[in-house]
Structure 1
Amino acid sequence: MKIKLLLVVILSTLFIVGCNQQTTDDIKKEEAKEVSLDPTKLLPIGTVVKLSNMDKLVMIYGYNQIQVSTKKQFDYIGVPYPEGNISPDYNVFFNRNLIEEVLHNGYVTDEDKKIREEADREGNAD
């Protein structure tokens, strides 16, 4: 009798754990769908992208930045990924049309969305 009871408890536990894992995976998939971003709009800080003219991946850390040496404004400023900020000499200035692939979305908040929308309007006012 004790063996049957122990077996029922073990099987019930495994079933519950398996169902819980499936639920967690489903939630992660839903969250990923919600964060799907429009590449024609500015992407969040922390987004990692593959650019069409570079082998190295780039992580975005700013919008509508002016490159001092050329005095030109670019949609983004980024740093090599995964190294991060090495020195100003390694900053990457680029426009959204060079983004070949978004590999990781940055953190999105309501404040971030508002700032990106404002920066998008500002950048398109030129």
Structure 2
Amino acid sequence: MDKDERIKALNPMQYRVTQQSGTEPPFSNEFWDHNEPGIYVDIVSGEPLFSSLDKFDAGCGWPSFMQPLRDTQIKELSDHSHGMIRTEVRSTEADSHLGHVFPDGPGPNGLRYCINSAALRFIPRDQLEQQGYAEFAALFD
């Protein structure tokens, strides 16, 4: 399936978030309180983005992560919408809008990647190899 076909397969919320830089409602999205071990990938391209090992409860109602799995899979852009200056986070390969990054996280770099669940697909730890993400299985040993 090519990128255009994958985009057509998105539900309305996934499309609005990833293709139109939308934001889903807090506290009523799929992964805000999800705690299963595994990785989160871009809903459009499948590129690996975040690990459950770096996920934390920021109390904001969206999944929050201390860092991406690979810096090369994330790009950051200046966002001046809604009367604010923020840093938008997009996936590198699919150019999907993911959310924003803020300098108030608990990790060693002090960052909080606040990400829309609608931009993500979760791959459980026990399915990493089957779904083509074997390189990340060692993270959970």
Taking structure 1 as the reference length, what is the TM-score of the superposition? 0.32
Which structure carries more helix by proportion? 1
Taking structure 2 as the reference length, what is the TM-score of the superposition? 0.29
The structure with the largest alpha-carbon Rg is 1
